Structure 1
Amino acid sequence: MFPNMLCGACKSHGRRNLKMKIKSLEPMSHVRFKDSIPIDMDPDYIFIGDVPLQPNKNKNSRGTKKMAANKVSNFSDLIHRVTGSCMLHPLGSNHNFTEDNSDYEDEQEDHPQPQAATEEQDTYTTTKEIEMVTLMGEVFETVSSLKKSYVTLQEAHCPWDSDKIRLADVAVVSSLKQLGVLREKFRRRSADEIEHARINKPISGPTLREVVAPYEAAIERLKSDMKAKEEELNNLIQKLKTTGSIKSRSHRRVSCSSQFQSRCPSTSVGSSLSPELFEAYMNSVKEGSKSFSLLLLSLMKAAHWDIAATVKSIISASTTVVGPTHAKYSLESYVNRKFFHGFDHETFYMDGSLTSLLNPAQFRSECFTQHSDMKSMDPMELLGIMPTCEFGKFCFKKYLSIVHPKMEESLFGDLEQRRQVLAGKHPRSRFYAEFLGVAKAVWLLHLVAFSMEPLPSHFEGSRGAEFHPEYMESVVRVRAGGGYVVGFPVSPGFKLGNGYVVKARVYLVPKTEM
């Protein structure tokens, strides 16, 4: 039992599980423990119960029993002395056995002890290595101190000890500051080494890579510029091909039309035009003007315009009351009045041409051919190819007429779109795209009108005129019966040569409001 107790004490306090084999109970007086009390470990005088640990062959059983009776108290005292020594002086990392045990020596061979630090330090010959080892030692010591301080801080929370917490917190902060100092020390040493290496670097000429690098960068830049120029050239070639095909197709159609007219004098281009085609283009104008007017009204509301004052200035009638929901009709009236101004002239009075009077048949044929070429084209793409064509000049004139500089600045905050239009360009914005939709519809309607023989006449309902259902249609719902007159015209009407009437759109108001 006693050897087992010693082994248990060694296991609980030592780092290594020492194997102690007792082949036979030999005298253990030669075993020495550090900081232990000398104990007489002669097994001749150690008994378990009434049986000795090592029988004495020289003594008979009778003497043994007698001696066991005399040694009971001594054995109890021995156990108390051994356990007290183990509790007062536990075996630590510094335990040392002087017994020459072969098993223990084998275990030492399996687990060799680390050599002294002096042998390792001897390998560091340079000052740099020694300083680095010293710095690493300081780092480890500081980290260990930080760990201990943090453990103390945790232990101070339960039970709560404010003074101990404060002291532990100061210790933790001090350790962290020390780590920061060591980090800066390491950084400064590294920076000094880099600067020292740079200063002591042998002076030599630039390398081939350093000499060639600027030229390589210039070559890459020139390659990117050349690629951009090639893309621009391809775009211009494509536009040129498109323009050439349009012109050749137009010329071919005009020549074919002239040959057909020379063979059949009684047949004209106007005979292939129907009133339904004209009315369809008029409906396109109506839809386009509605969409553009709604967009213009939304921009005015976003710019906090006084819509009532705007409507009053458009219709120029102080006695006509237009509700807030009907303000769009006044804006549509304004847009249509600007677009249809000069509709009865072959070029909207953009120049003084009189081709329709000097050679009317040829002019009608050219108008119909231009209508056929343009009807399926996107206006923005067309103006991108030929920005200064007749349709481009028409858009230039009408935009400047509809959108006043102060209006554009109030709606958009600047005059960028106006500057582009004045420069002969066409902005790629939603507002200008909506404007081009109306402009194209009016332009195609104009081409179809001048392709007809005779030229359609247009009219509009003037303010205060009686409402005639065969010539007018109201844009608002009114009760059946009389008592309504025209408040203001919204869009013009047309009467074709065969008597077909495209009704004018008007805004009706009661006679009492006039």
Structure 2
Amino acid sequence: METLMAAELPQQKAGGGLARRLVRLLRRKRSTAGSVAGGEYDESSLDSSINSLSKLKLSAATLDVLFRNAAVEKKGGATQSAAAPAPALDSASAHAFVASLFAGVSAVKAAYAQLQQAQHPYDAEAIQSADAALVAELTKLSDHKRQFARDPVAAAKSAAVGPPVLAAHADEQRHLLRTYEITAGKLGKELRGRDAEAERARAALADELRAARALEERVHPGRTLAALDGLHLSGLNATHFLTAMRHAVKSVRSFAKSVLGEMRRAGWDPAAAAAAVHPGVPLRHPGDAKFALESFVALKMFAGFHRRDFGLSSLHDRSSYDRRRFFVEFAELKAAPAVAFLDARSSRWSALGEFLRDRYPSLVHERMEASFFGNTAQRGAVASLGASFPETPWFAEFAEMARRVWLLHCLFFTFDSGVGCDSDDSASIFQAPAGARFSEVYMESVSDLDTDGDGGTALTPPGERVVGFTVVPGFKVGRTVMQCRVYLSRLARQP
């Protein structure tokens, strides 16, 4: 007998602690119900109480001890338990009572969530309905508490007489599902609100960027393409073409600089490469190899520029394009992101894709790419029809350069009316041949200072200034001449 009582003491303590926790929980529900009418709700305290109750794991033996100990305490304490044993309680009744208890708690939680939802936005009828439902559920829990306090065994048997345990579990899950639906709706509303805030922030940022570009254009005209925003065909003039040309030339110079950097990392001799590009033209300074490489890139990219199909047989249908068709393509491509025109699956920019596939192999030799990157994967991807273009910084820079040249090409033919080159609305492209005498009207020297053999600098006499090679071609739009950039040499004029 002593052994049995010693073994049951911890269980009595556990059962009494659980009973006290239930009493505290129900008291808290009653205080919460009182605050409902006042409009004040403590969601954190309610959720913590419900969560603490939801985490209870009760076995059949624990439930039996709980109700037996509660009955013993009702009759006079643990001293009388040995003399007067508690009435027997089957586990089914205990489980039925706890199942109904948990169903009631989940109903309270669902009613409280419904009440919170009715407050934002404010709905008086919904608030009254949810408040009544919450009070009703709390009243049921209070009745459970009073029955349990009077006679735990009778309370359990009364619960067993009611709906089956499975029905109580179904009610609990239904109330929990309703709570989750309300929570999901609240989170969805918050998400939509934050999306709206993000959209407003993006719009504000776009406005700020447009204002910054406009300010930069006023301070430094021609440095950005902002001057070409909102352009109309009737308002085109040579200044717009000059702006687009400067951007194209800047991109050509940037890619040539990248080529020079890759050459140096791969151990190539830039001076030897320059000699291969323009043989017979001595460089006045080893650093002038960059001009030869820039000339190589520009002449490759601008080859066939004067033809509507850009010299590509696959684009022969562009020969019938008129000024408006070229202008529409210019306006759409200028606003398109890089991801759009680099998508090989898109047929909208198929003409630009053909231009990329044609110019990349002619500009980047197979041995050059293999030496730079250790393989020719990018070259193979470009050559494969239907395959996506390489997503590498190297090809991205090349593609941006090609896009700007293509934009300039489209804008070029918006000035071409099909009449003579001397017309006010015509356009032409030109370059200076090697050995030609320098002209300040049609040419611009990349450097007016020549480096002599002693390492000093001396200005070349005007009579000896001849063209070594063209770095960037020039343009003539109407009556406006945009000088070609040339590298000067002391070579005698070829007969």
TM-score for both structures, normalised by structure 2: 0.46
Q: Bigger radius of gyration, 1 or 2? A: 1
Q: Please report the TM-score for the alignment, with normalisation by the length of structure 1.
A: 0.44
Structure having the higher helix fraction is: 2
